[in-house]
Amino acid sequence: MQQSKNNKRSAPRLTTLHRTLLAAGLLGGSAAMAQTGVGQVQDVVVTTGVRGEARTVADSPAPIDVISGEQLIHTGRAELAEALARLLPSFNFGTNQAGVNSVVRPVSNRGLGPAYTLVLVNGKRRHNAALLTNGGGDTSGVNAIDLDTIPLSAIDHIEVLKDSAAAQYGSDAVAGVVNVILKSSNHGGSISASYGKLKDGQGDLTSKKLEADIGFALGDDGFIHLGAVLRKRGQAWYNFPSTNLVAYSPASNPKNATWDRDGAHNGDPGIEAYDVAFNAEKPYDKDITLYAFGTAGTRNTVAGNNFRRPNGLATIGQLFPDGYFALNNMSAYDFQLNAGARGRNAGWVWDISSGYGRNRARQYSNLTSNPSLGPSSPTSFDNLATYQFEQWTTNEDFTRTVDIGLKKPLQWSWGLEQRIERFSTYAGDPLGYINGGYIFKTGDQEGNPNVGKPAAVGAQAGVALSPADATSIRRTVLAVYNDLGFYPVENLFVDGAVRAEHYNDSAGNTASGKINSRYDFTPVLAIRGTVGTGFRAPSLTQSGYSQTDNRTNINPVTGVVGPSLSKLLRNDSALAHTFGARDLVPEKSVNFGIGVVLKPADNINVTLDGYQVKVKDRIVRTGYMFGPAFAPTLIAAGLTGTEWIQYFANAVDTRTEGADLVADITSDYGKYGVVRWGAAANWNRTTVTRINATPSEITGLGANPGGSSVWFGYAAGGGIGDLSATPRTKLILSARWSVGALETNLQTTRYDAYLWQTTANRAQDYHFGAKWLTDLDVSYGITKRAKLVVGAANLFNVKPDKNGPGDANSGGNSFVYGPAPFAPTGAYYYAKVTYDF
- Measured at the CA of 146, the angle between CA 142 and CA 149, to 5 degrees, comes to 165
- From the list 167, 187, 245, the residue with the least C-alpha distance to 535 is 167
Cβ atoms within 10 Å of 335's Cβ, excluding its own = 18
- Amino acid 429 reads D
CATH number at residue 739: 2.40.170.20
Contact between 15 and 671 under an 8 Å Cβ cutoff? The reply is no
Share of the chain above pLDDT 90, in %: 53
- Report the C-alpha gap between 459 and 732 in whole angstroms: 44
Contact between 433 and 371 under an 8 Å Cβ cutoff? The reply is no
When mean pLDDT is compared across 66-75, 415-424, 746-755, 764-773, the lowest value belongs to 66-75
Question: DSSP E strands: which ranges in 633-717?
Answer: 644-646, 648-668, 674-691
Number of H helices, E strands in the chain: 10, 41
Tens of pLDDT, residue by residue over 28-40, are: 333 333 322 333 5
- Report the C-alpha gap between 437 and 729 in whole angstroms: 51
| Domain of residue 47, residue span | 4-836
* 42 phi, psi to nearest 5 deg: -65, -10
- Amino acid 267 reads G
Confidence at residue 824, expressed as pLDDT on a 0 to 100 scale: 84
Residue 600: pLDDT over 70: yes
The per-residue b/e assignment along 675-708, b for 16 or more CB within 10 angstroms, e otherwise, is bbbbbbbbbbebebeebbebbeebbebebbeebb
With cut-offs at 50, 70 and 90, classify the pLDDT of residue 69. Answer: confident
Cβ atoms within 10 Å of 241's Cβ, excluding its own = 12
More confident residue, 115 or 254: 115
Over residues 63-71, mean pLDDT: 83
Tens of pLDDT, residue by residue over 312-355, are: 889 999 999 989 999 999 999 999 999 999 999 999 999 999 99
Task: Name the DSSP letter for residue 132.
Answer: P
Task: Name the DSSP letter for residue 247.
Answer: T
Which H or E run contains 4? helix 4-8
Confidence at residue 760, expressed as pLDDT on a 0 to 100 scale: 59
Residue 15: pLDDT over 70: no
With cut-offs at 50, 70 and 90, classify the pLDDT of residue 724. Answer: low
Task: Name the DSSP letter for residue 154.
Answer: G
Tens of pLDDT, residue by residue over 548-580, are: 776 666 666 555 565 567 888 999 899 999 999
- From the list 132, 112, 93, the residue with the least C-alpha distance to 654 is 112
Residue 721: pLDDT over 70: no
Torsion of CA 169, 172, 173, 178, to 10 degrees: -100
- Amino acid 688 reads V
Is residue 278 classed as helix, strand or coil in its secondary structure? strand
Confidence at residue 54, expressed as pLDDT on a 0 to 100 scale: 59
With cut-offs at 50, 70 and 90, classify the pLDDT of residue 19. Answer: very low
Contact between 109 and 116 under an 8 Å Cβ cutoff? The reply is yes
- Report the C-alpha gap between 343 and 3 in whole angstroms: 9
Domain count, the chain: 1
